[in-house]
């Protein structure tokens, strides 16, 4: 059974009267976690897309950039989006349920936030209401303010990320410490690891932008260290 068919089954249970808490409980463990992840990104993304007062084609098409949706499953994907985008009301309760469902698993919740930032920037604009929305969801997910700013800097034009922040090391970290952090993040971004923690195969495109940011940060730190070494040797 495909991911989208399993999503359709979960939605059918909800519309059939099964309590949301019961459906979420069934989605807590693999392979159902991938269903939960997909519903979470699409539902919260749809609500956020409405947060700036409009749902554009760019924001809708952003889902296609995150998820591989075969033509045969487009109706199921559209159904999730249409059910969720009715209004912004209720997103905080939904975010709390998602956080509880994933057991405050910071890595997978971080994956989810990346998907939401991708959707927010699909139309090329970062609306204050979208920032408020994402900030609140991030807090509910237990993501601290520094990590939220780091995510925002990666996606929002004009917010150049600090390479040390991207790697999660202090500004005075040694080159070896930065290298160790970079390698650990590269391993953690591998599609197999992302899938193991609940990101569906159809959404591992999220790893691409993160890997680019991680490698760029390491290159900047490494190049800077090499330049300083040359100057000191003179």
Reported as a single tens digit per residue, the pLDDT across 43-64 is: 788 778 777 666 566 666 677 7
Reported as a single tens digit per residue, the pLDDT across 75-92 is: 777 776 676 666 555 788
User: How far is Cα of residue 184 from the mean position of the Cα atoms in its chain?
Assistant: 19
Q: For CA atoms 169, 174, 177, 178, give the dihedral sign.
A: positive
Q: Which of 2-6, 20-24, 79-83, 115-119 has the highest mean pLDDT?
A: 115-119
Reported as a single tens digit per residue, the pLDDT across 127-169 is: 888 999 999 999 999 998 888 887 887 788 666 678 888 888 8
Please, are residues 130 and 53 in contact by the beta-carbon 8 Å criterion? no
> Phi and psi of 52, rounded to 5°?
-90, 10
81: which residues sit within 8 A by CB, 6+ positions away? Answer: 42, 46, 60, 63
| pLDDT for position 38 | 80
| pLDDT for position 58 | 60
- pTM given for the model: 0.74
Please, are residues 143 and 111 in contact by the beta-carbon 8 Å criterion? no
What is the mean predicted confidence (pLDDT) over 193-219?
80
Q: Output the CA–CA distances (angstroms, integers) from residue 17 to 22, 70, 208, in the order listed.
A: 10, 29, 39
Q: Output the CA–CA distances (angstroms, integers) from residue 94 to 139, 153, 162, 163, in the order listed.
A: 13, 25, 32, 33
Task: Please state, in angstroms and rounded to a whole number, the distance separating the CA atoms of residues 121 and 111.
Answer: 16
């Amino acid at each position: 059974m495909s991911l989208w068919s399993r999503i359709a089954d979960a939605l059918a249970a909800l519309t059939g009267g099964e309590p949301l808490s019961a459906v979420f409980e069934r989605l807590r463990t693999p392979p159902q976690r991938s269903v939960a992840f997909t519903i979470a990104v699409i539902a919260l993304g749809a609500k956020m897309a409405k947060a700036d007062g409009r749902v554009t084609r760019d924001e809708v098409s952003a889902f296609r950039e995150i998820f591989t949706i075969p033509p045969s499953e487009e109706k199921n994907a559209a159904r999730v989006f249409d059910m969720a985008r009715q209004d912004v009301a209720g997103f905080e309760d939904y975010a709390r349920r998602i956080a509880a469902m994933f057991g405050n698993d910071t890595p997978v919740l971080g994956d989810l936030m990346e998907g939401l930032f991708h959707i927010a920037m699909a139309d090329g604009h970062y609306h204050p209401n979208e920032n408020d929305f994402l900030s609140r969801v991030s807090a509910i997910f237990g993501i601290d303010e520094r990590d939220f700013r780091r995510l925002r800097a990666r996606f929002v034009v004009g917010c150049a990320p600090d390479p040390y922040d991207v790697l999660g090391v202090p500004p005075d970290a040694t080159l070896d410490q930065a290298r160790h952090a970079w390698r650990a993040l590269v391993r953690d971004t591998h599609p197999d690891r992302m899938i193991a923690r609940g990101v569906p195969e159809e959404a591992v495109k999220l790893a691409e932008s993160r890997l680019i940011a991680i490698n760029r940060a390491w290159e900047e730190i490494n190049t800077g260290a090499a330049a300083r070494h040359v100057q000191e040797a003179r």
